[in-house]
Amino acid sequence: MTSQLLRQVRVLDPESETDRIADVLITDGRIAAIEASLPEPPANADVQDCSGCVLGPGLVDLYSHSGEPGFEDRETLDSLLHAAQAGGFTRLTLLPDTHPAIDTPASVEWLHARLRASPEPLPLLQCWGALTVGVAGQQMVELAELAESGIVGFADGRPLQNSMLLRRLLEYGQILNRPIALWCCDRELAGNGVVREGEESLRLGLPGNPAMAETAPLAALLECVATLGTPVHLMRISTARSVELLRDAKARGLPVTASTTWMHLLLNITAVQSYDPSLHLEPPLGNPADQEALCQAVQEGIIDAIAIDHSPYTYEEKTVAFAESPAGAIGLELALPLLWQQFVVSGQWSALTLWRCLSSQPARCLHQPPARLLPGVLAELTLFDPHQSWTITPQTLHSRSSNTPWLGQPVKGRVIQTWNSRLASHT
C-alpha cells in the first residue's frame, strides 16, 4: 500500500463549487480522505507540505494536433503526451488530421496499438474520428463503423464548406450518440487573410480576415441545429459577434456547447506588432473588443470550455514571413500557468472559473463524466504550484516543437504532479 499526504493544499472542486485548504490523502491511486486536518497519517505515507499549491481535477483538452503519424519531426505521440502531462492534463483529445487521417476503424486501432506499445504510463489519449474521408470535406466517412471503434466523437478540425454535406452529417449524427465538433469558417470570405480585419490589420499591412467569415457560417449552422435538433460543439469561437450568436442560441435552448482557445483569451491583434510567426493562428487573434467579449463569455458560461489546440511546427517551418508561416502554436505546457497569472492572480476570474473551463467543462463537452474530488474515488488530479518560476526554452519544454510567442520568457506557475484514473504518475 502506497500513500501520499498533501498537507494544507488549496483544493479546487468545480463540481461542488468549493475552494478550501485541506489535507488530502491518496492511497493506491484513490482519494482516501479530504479533511481540514489529518493529524495521524498512515505510517508509510509520503507527507508533502503543499502550502501555497493548488490541487484540482485533472485538466482535459478538447482538441489538439499531433505530428505522428506523418510529421514526427513536429511531434511524436510520446512527446505530445509528455507535454500534456507536464501541463497538468490527464485527458488529451487528438484531432484526426494526421497523415493518414483518423477516418477508419483501422486507423483508430493503429493509434490504440501504438499507445499500448508505450514503455511507460502516460495521460489518457483520446481521439476524434474524422467526419469526412481524409478530412478533405468532400465525402462522408462510414460514420456508424467509426463510431464503434473507440473514438470520443466526430470532428474534422477543418471547416466544412459543403452545406448539404453538413446537413447530412447532422442528420446521421442524431442516431450516433457521439459528440460532433465543428469549426465555422467560410474560406471564400476569409480569402488570404492572416489577421483579423480592422484598423490594426491596416496598420500592420497584413491581409485581413473579416469576422463574418466566422459569423456567417455560424449563423447558418445554428439554424440547422434549431431545425434538426442535433447537439453540436462549436470550436474556436473568436469574435464578439459569435458570442452574441451563442448567447442567443443558448437563450433559445439550442443543444450547443462552445469553446475558444487559450491564446484568444490572452492576446489580441495588437500583439502581432512583433510579426512573430507563432502569433499566426487560425482563426486569427481578434481585435481588442473580440478578446474582451471572449473573456466575459467564459466568465458567464456562454463559452463552456477553454481548448489548447496545440499545433506543433518545426523551427524551419515557422521561421518564415508571418503571412507565409503555417497557422498554429504549441500550448499544452503553457496554458495553465499563463492563464492563471492573467486571470486568477489579477482577480478577473475566480480560480474555480478557470479550473472548471479546463477540466470539468471540457469533459462534459465530450459527453464524459468529470473527475471528482471525493473520498473513495479514483484519483484524477493535478497538483499545481502557481509560484514556481521557470523560463520557457526548447530545453525546458517537453514538446518536440517550440513555436510559441513566449519562447525565452520567464513564467510563474508549474505543474508538480498528476494522477489519473489508471495510475499515479509524476511529471
Catalytic residues: 309
412, 314, 331, 409 alpha-carbon torsion, rounded to 10° = 20
Rounded CA gap, 7 and 94, in Å?
Answer: 35
CA pair distance 151, 173, nearest whole angstrom: 14
Euclidean distance between CA atoms 23 and 41, whole angstroms:
10
What letter would DSSP give residue 140? B
Would you state the cell numbers that stand for residue 383, as one nine-digit string?
A: 497538483
Phi, psi of 220 (to 5 degrees): -65, -40
CA 293 to mean position of chain CA atoms: 19
In angstroms, the CA 260 to CA 263 distance is: 9
The DSSP annotation for 224-293 comes to: HHHHH---EEEE----HHHHHHHHHHHHTT--EEEEEEHHHHH--GGGGGG--GGG--SSPPPPHHHHHH
Contact 334, 406 (CB under 8 A): yes
Angle in degrees, CA 37, 39, 40, rounded to 5 = 135
Let me know how long the chain is: 427
- Closest CA relative to residue 399, chosen from 64, 129, 56, 114: 64
Of 329, 331, 401, 403, nearest to 71 by C-alpha is 401
As a whole number of angstroms, the distance between CA 405 and CA 334 comes to 11
Beta-bridge partners for 64: 94
Contact between residue 61 and residue 382 where contact means Cβ atoms under 8 Å apart: no
Cell triple for residue 13? Answer: 472542486
Cross-strand partners of 381? 57, 419
Pairing of strands 3-13, 18-27: antiparallel
Grid cell 473579416 is found at: 210
* Cα–Cα distance, 397 to 134 (Å, whole number): 31
